[in-house]
Amino acid sequence: MKIRCPYCLNEFDNSKARLICRNTLKKCTLEATDEFVSHWRISRDSPMALRPHIYSGGFSLFGAPKLKACPVCGDDIPDYVCPHCHNALPRDMVVNGTDIIPIIGGPGVGKTCYMVALVNQLKRYGWRVNLVSSLDSMYGDAAVKYEEMSNTLFKDKNVLDKTAVRNDSLNMPWFIKIENKVKIKAKKPTYLIFYDIAGEQFASANMMLNQKPLQYASGAIVLLDTFDLPVVKDLLKSLGKRASDVHFSIEKTVEELFNVTGQKMSGTNAEILKGCPIAFAFSKADIITKYRDSLGCFDNTVMGNSLFIENRRYSMPGTFGKNDFAAYINEIDTISQSFEIALRECDQAEMLENNKWNKEDVRYFGVSSLGAEPQADGSLDVEKVIPYRVLDPLVWVLNRLGKIEIV
């Protein structure tokens, strides 16, 4: 099975994966490898570079090498590492493969807030569509960061700080392990890979071209700013209110998306984006709910939360079944059509009719990570932070990829 490493993004056959000893308590020999220090651009003497022994796994006729004890210290609980960059990978990822689904967007669009809200809602409500998730990072970095940011957002009720720009290698990816469990039967897990890429990096063409995850994506969630819709800007202006600053327009976001995804690493010829589900998610969509009576182009469905989150009547009491999921997908289509109408009214129809994708591979969503507009100091004047439809883009992408099963 071919595996795409989420760190260096090189492809390798999973039979070529190597093993790394996890034994640090018994003082396994610490060593720096050329592959690892080259990837992270660090010194061989750096504490990060010195890690336990890396070695070959046991013979396997098919698939990943068999796990075996470390030949140096005898520890028998190793991890897999990529043969190209020697970064540690989750076992299920090497055995079952990966799906890379990046979340991208320009500066000021609220991407980090969205990622945190997405994980929060996935952990709370994902089970209703048979999705069980866990946050994992082989270096523990993402899990710690998530807890800190989750507390800031949901307990302290404050907006998160912007992501810092990196000029060297890729940011440490977040591994989101998704398992689709249908009653007793458990399907193989899927790993979604999220990169917390600063919006300024997206806005820079030179840096954007180095964001390789987009070129190997199985699907993508692209965040756009609801405040950049002329119908919203005109409304706020008529009410004497100042719209939030938009640092990166809808048009520019889509243009930069094509700058990257239109080219493959193997050549310079543009390749048509077809078969890759793309969810365009308009962030800060709580503004639509707030002024619902004045924004006639949006269907009332946009105003409610996701069908499987709200306690609505299901076709079978207590069970979110196939009929309910079909109704939910129809709901997503209705919302998407509302945004299509708004985009056409904004003279941005070319975004809808771009020949680089199939219409069925694209949907438009309204999401709100906060559920309400923050105050000037970044705090939220609400009793409880309730995200709004943040799971819709991910559930739709997973469904298009055949990763959702409802009985």
51 vs 53: CA distance, rounded Å? 7
pLDDT at 17 over 90: yes
pLDDT at 16 over 70: yes
pLDDT of residue 394: 92
pLDDT at 108 over 80: no
Nearest to 339 by CA among 282, 257, 290: 282
Nearest to 111 by CA among 174, 17, 181: 174
Residue ranges of the chain that CATH labels 3.40.50.300: 99-400
pTM metric for this prediction: 0.84
206 vs 214: CA distance, rounded Å? 14
pLDDT of residue 222: 87
Whether the Cβ atoms of residue 135 and residue 176 lie closer than 8 Å to each other: yes
Whether the Cβ atoms of residue 226 and residue 286 lie closer than 8 Å to each other: no
pLDDT at 371 over 70: yes
Whether the Cβ atoms of residue 56 and residue 44 lie closer than 8 Å to each other: no
pLDDT at 324 over 90: no
We find that the CATH architecture of domain 99-400 is 3-Layer(aba) Sandwich (3.40)
* Unique residue bearing structure tokens 């010195």: 50
52 vs 32: CA distance, rounded Å? 9
pLDDT of residue 264: 40
pLDDT per residue over 178-203, tens digit each? 877 665 555 567 777 776 655 555 55
Under DSSP, the state recorded for 176 is E
Residue percentage of the chain with pLDDT more than 70? 74
Whether the Cβ atoms of residue 1 and residue 97 lie closer than 8 Å to each other: yes
pLDDT of residue 311: 58
Higher pLDDT, residue 407 or 171: 407
Residue percentage of the chain with pLDDT more than 90? 20
Q: Which of 6-20, 146-160, 341-355, 361-375 has the lowest mean pLDDT?
A: 341-355
169 confidence band (pLDDT: 50, 70, 90): very low
Q: Which of 86-90, 310-314, 389-393, 400-404 has the lowest mean pLDDT?
A: 310-314
Q: At 105, which helix (H) or strand (E)?
A: strand 103-105
pLDDT of residue 272: 44
266 confidence band (pLDDT: 50, 70, 90): very low
Whether the Cβ atoms of residue 298 and residue 292 lie closer than 8 Å to each other: yes
pLDDT of residue 390: 92
112 phi, psi to nearest 5 deg: -65, -40
pLDDT of residue 18: 97
pLDDT per residue over 238-256, tens digit each? 877 665 555 567 777 776 6
What is the SS3 assignment for 33?
A: coil
Whether the Cβ atoms of residue 153 and residue 385 lie closer than 8 Å to each other: yes
Average pLDDT of the chain?
Answer: 78
* Unique residue bearing structure tokens 């306690």: 311
Q: At 397, which helix (H) or strand (E)?
A: helix 392-400
262 phi, psi to nearest 5 deg: -80, -5
Mean pLDDT along residues 24-32: 83
125 vs 385: CA distance, rounded Å? 15
pLDDT per residue over 273-289, tens digit each? 567 898 999 988 888 87
Higher pLDDT, residue 367 or 133: 367
Nearest to 232 by CA among 279, 291, 280, 281: 291
Q: Give the contacts of 197 (CB within 8 A, at least 6 positions apart).
A: 102, 104, 111, 163, 171, 211
